[in-house]
Structure formats: C-alpha cells, structure tokens
C-alpha cells in the first residue's frame, strides 16, 4: 500500500511537470481595459496565463484619475515599464498595450493637451524599444472613440476631442507598423456597435464590454502558434 502511494505521488508530480505551460499574457491599459478585463480573463482561461497591471481597488474609485491598475498616459506606461524591465521574472509572451485617452486630455481653460503629439510618438517608440530589448512581444490596442458633445457635456475636469483621438491613433498606427507590431482595432470594432452602448463619457455597458473581450480573445487565439514557436 505504501509503495502504491509513493508511485501515485511520483506519477502525479511527473504529469504536472510534463504538462505544457500556458503562454503568458500581460495587459497594460486605461480604464477601458479595466472594464473589459474580467471578461477577457474569463474568455482566455485555460489558453493564456492572464495578468495585468493591478492594484487593490484604488483605480476603480475614479476611472478618470489614472492610478494603480489604470495605466494612464504614455509617459506613465513608459515609466512603469522602465521599473519592470530589470525584473527578470517579468517575461510575458505577449504584452497587450493601450494608452491614448489620457494623453489627449485637454485643460478646459487653456486647451493645453496632456501629452503633445511629438512626445506621444517618442514615448511609444521608447516603449517598443524597451520591450524589444527584453524580447517581449508587443500587441497594440487602438484607442476607443470619443464623441465631443457626449464627452464634454459630462466631463468638467478636462476635455477630449475626436480629432485628437484620430490623430493619436494615426501616430500609434505609424509607430507600430514601422516595427511590425500587430494592431487590434478595438476603435473600429467598438464604433460598429453604436453609441447607445456608452454608459458615461467614454465607458461602455456590459454588452459592449463582453463583445470587446471576445473580439480581443479571438485575435489572441491566432497568435498561439507564434508563441509556441518561441518556446
């Protein structure tokens, strides 16, 4: 009986060690990603090891103030990744990234933009180079839409404009295509769902968030053969 128990223990250990490890997915994004994140985590369960920039709940208290799980603007993302880069245990197969909504905030009195377009381009370039050096594959997420009247009639602390969003999405497109980075066009996908799915100035209802997560999960499914080649 004792011999049988030892055999079963060793067999279990062997099976666990022999089981293929799931590829690692790490998400950094603004509050849009925080809201579709739980659905995405559910949809990729058993396929990807899901992780993201996180906190103990402080980011959810005010989604317009980027702290903790809210990645914020491109400067904040770059600084966060500079802190993570020396950590050799930080080695996701895919880093899914979005930043843009906080970059295009404008002061309602001066109209000054939070991160100017040249700095946005420079920050994205630096993010790519940092991740490339660490052999972490970047996947870029296009920033979801802003409707001027809806947003600026609801938000008093800052303004956002569709023209800025379009310009910054175009900048990101150019940087990512230059380096052969795959792009998930969540902007176009979400616009196709219609404006009725907004619940405030930029965030979406559960129906839209589930569809966003499904769209992203489907895109990631196509990347699995590439992550397996890297093993």
Q: Which domain holds residue 110?
A: 23-224
Distance CA 43, CA 38 (A): 9
Helices (H), ranges, the chain: 2-18, 31-43, 74-84, 117-133, 148-154, 162-178, 186-191, 206-221, 224-230
3-state secondary structure of 195: helix
CB contact at 8 A, 78 and 133: no
Instruction: Please choose, from the candidates 146, 140, 150, the residue with its C-alpha nearest in 3D space to the C-alpha of residue 102.
Output: 146
- The one-digit pLDDT tens for each residue of the chain (231 residues) are 544 544 434 344 443 334 469 999 999 999 999 999 999 999 999 999 999 998 888 888 888 889 888 899 999 999 999 999 999 999 999 999 999 999 999 999 999 999 999 999 999 999 999 999 999 999 999 999 999 999 999 888 999 999 999 999 999 999 999 999 999 999 999 999 999 999 999 999 999 999 999 999 999 999 886 665 555
Q: What is the DSSP string of 122-149?
A: HHHHHHHHHHHHTT-EEEEEPPPP--HH
With respect to residue 18, please indicate whether it lies within any of the assigned structural domains. no
Instruction: Please choose, from the candidates 78, 76, 94, the residue with its C-alpha nearest in 3D space to the C-alpha of residue 22.
Output: 94
Token readout for 73 is: 């603007």
The total number of structural domains in the chain stands at 1
With respect to residue 133, please indicate whether it lies within any of the assigned structural domains. yes
With respect to residue 141, please indicate whether it lies within any of the assigned structural domains. yes
**CATH code, 53:** 3.40.50.1110
pTM confidence score: 0.87
With respect to residue 13, please indicate whether it lies within any of the assigned structural domains. no
With respect to residue 201, please indicate whether it lies within any of the assigned structural domains. yes
């Amino acid at each position: 009986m004792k011999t049988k128990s030892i055999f079963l223990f060793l067999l279990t250990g062997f099976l666990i060690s022999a089981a293929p490890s799931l590829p690692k997915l790490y998400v950094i994004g603004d509050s849009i990603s925080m809201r579709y994140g739980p659905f995405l985590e559910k949809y990729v369960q058993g396929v990807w090891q899901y992780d993201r920039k996180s906190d103990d709940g402080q980011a959810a208290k005010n989604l317009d103030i980027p702290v903790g799980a809210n990645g914020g603007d491109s400067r904040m993302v770059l600084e966060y990744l500079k802190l993570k880069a020396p950590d050799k245990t930080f080695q996701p197969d895919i880093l899914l990234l979005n930043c843009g909504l906080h970059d295009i905030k404008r002061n309602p009195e001066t109209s000054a933009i939070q991160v100017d377009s040249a700095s946005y381009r420079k920050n994205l370039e630096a993010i790519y180079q940092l991740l490339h050096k660490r052999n972490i594959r970047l996947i870029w997420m296009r920033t979801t839409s802003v409707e001027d009247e809806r947003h600026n009639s609801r938000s008093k602390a800052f303004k956002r404009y569709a023209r800025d969003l379009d310009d910054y999405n175009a900048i990101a497109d150019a940087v990512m295509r230059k380096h052969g980075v795959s792009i998930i066009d969540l902007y176009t996908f979400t616009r196709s769902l219609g404006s009725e799915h907004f619940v405030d100035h930029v965030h979406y209802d559960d129906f839209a968030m589930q569809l966003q997560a499904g769209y992203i999960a489907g895109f990631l499914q196509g990347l699995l053969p590439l992550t397996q080649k890297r093993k």
